[in-house]
């Protein structure tokens, strides 16, 4: 999310306001793809399948992940072999890339992970393996429309359709029950996460550096939600019926710490939050209390909630 000039803000909010334009200006910065999803040998040539996938071809068959150097993968072939990739279609006609990582065979929980801005599945793959291994959870992640090799363009409506498609793929293809799914959203990823969590009950929800709404990011003094506001997490979080852990850095330079506090105060099932003193927007994972709190949330807080 980048800062906007006065003229850009006036154009966004006065001419007249358009939620999709607000969303695009404030949030979406898809990087150049750092990976490809290629077919297994029996399903056709790489060039043919990759082209048809982008243009609207079939997403059936078995696929293999190819990471470029820009993905900066930190593990070896054994860990790479734990990653299964697939394409699934959304209700809005896009095909999104999904990644299932068996970090911890036999693990009870799977994180449905909605990543932050300006990254894709290739860049996140090493983080997913490290996180899942350390908290004893499997990971199911996806790229938003227009990110990575997912088709379409990024938009608020597509975000909601994207996570719905990922949820259905996790439920049907892998047979994971809602009581074993933890929804995890980071930064812009908290938008589809809160939306899904407000409509479905699951094991738990984690909101990492969340925003209250697009207007409140652009105009910190905004006190109410306007009809043209984008990403209205603040209006949906009260509908979450699953235990919810909110994590935010006190020195977040992108989404102010006050957003996390406001969501915590509005969420009826919020557990003890994690406010990371001195952390910014992109370095919370480097603090030891991050993993400690996640482990406690999964091993202790969720047990208490079930009882």
252 is catalytic: yes
Cα atoms in the Cβ-side hemisphere of radius 13 Å centred on 28? 23
Residue of 115, 252, 256, 259 with catalytic role? 252
Q: Is the peptide bond before 167 cis (omega within 30 degrees of 0)?
A: no
Distance between start and end Cα atoms, the chain: 40
Give the tokens for residue 221.
């003094």
Residue of 150, 187, 209, 213 with catalytic role? 187
Q: Is the peptide bond before 16 cis (omega within 30 degrees of 0)?
A: yes
Rounded-to-integer distance, Cα 53 and Cα 150, Å? 9
Give the tokens for residue 163.
């996570």
Cα atoms in the Cβ-side hemisphere of radius 13 Å centred on 123? 16
Rounded-to-integer distance, Cα 87 and Cα 60, Å? 8
Positive/negative CA dihedral, 49, 53, 56, 57: positive
Q: Would you call 155 exposed, middle or buried from its count of C-beta atoms within 10 A (0-12, 13-18, 19+)? A: buried
Contacts of 109 (CB under 8 A, 6+ apart): 137, 138, 180, 181, 182, 203, 204, 298
Give the tokens for residue 111.
């994180």
> Cα-atom radius of gyration of the chain, to the nearest Å?
19
303 is catalytic: no
Report the residue count for the chain: 307
Rounded-to-integer distance, Cα 14 and Cα 236, Å? 25
187 is catalytic: yes
Q: Which residues are catalytic?
A: 187, 252, 281
């Amino acid at each position: 999310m980048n800062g906007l000039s006065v003229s850009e803000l006036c154009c966004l909010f006065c001419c007249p306001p358009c939620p999709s334009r607000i969303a695009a200006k404030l949030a979406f910065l898809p990087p150049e793809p750092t990976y490809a999803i290629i077919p297994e040998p029996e399903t056709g040539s790489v060039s043919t399948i990759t082209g048809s996938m982008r243009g609207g071809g079939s997403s059936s068959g078995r696929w293999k992940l190819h990471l470029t150097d820009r993905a900066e993968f930190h593990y070896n072939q054994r860990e790479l072999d734990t990653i299964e990739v697939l394409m699934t279609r959304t209700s809005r006609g896009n095909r999104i890339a999904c990644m299932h990582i068996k970090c911890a065979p036999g693990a009870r929980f799977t994180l449905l992970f909605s990543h932050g801005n300006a990254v894709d599945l290739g860049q996140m793959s090493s983080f997913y393996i490290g996180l899942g291994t350390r908290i004893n959870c499997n990971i199911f992640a996806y790229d938003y429309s227009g990110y990575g090799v997912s088709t379409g363009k990024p938009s608020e409506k597509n975000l909601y359709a994207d996570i719905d498609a990922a949820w259905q793929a996790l439920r049907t293809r892998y047979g994971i029950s809602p009581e074993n799914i933890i929804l995890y959203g980071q930064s812009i990823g908290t938008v589809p996460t809160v939306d899904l969590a407000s409509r479905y009950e699951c094991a738990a929800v984690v909101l990492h550096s969340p925003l209250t709404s697009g207007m409140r990011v652009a105009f910190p003094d905004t006190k109410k939600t306007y009809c043209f506001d984008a990403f209205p997490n603040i209006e949906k979080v009260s509908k979450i019926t699953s235990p919810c852990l909110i994590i935010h850095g006190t020195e977040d330079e992108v989404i102010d710490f006050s957003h996390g506090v406001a969501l915590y105060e509005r969420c009826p099932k919020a557990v003890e939050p994690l406010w990371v003193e001195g952390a910014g927007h992109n370095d919370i994972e480097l603090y030891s209390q991050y993993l400690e709190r996640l482990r406690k949330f999964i091993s202790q807080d969720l047990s208490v909630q079930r009882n």
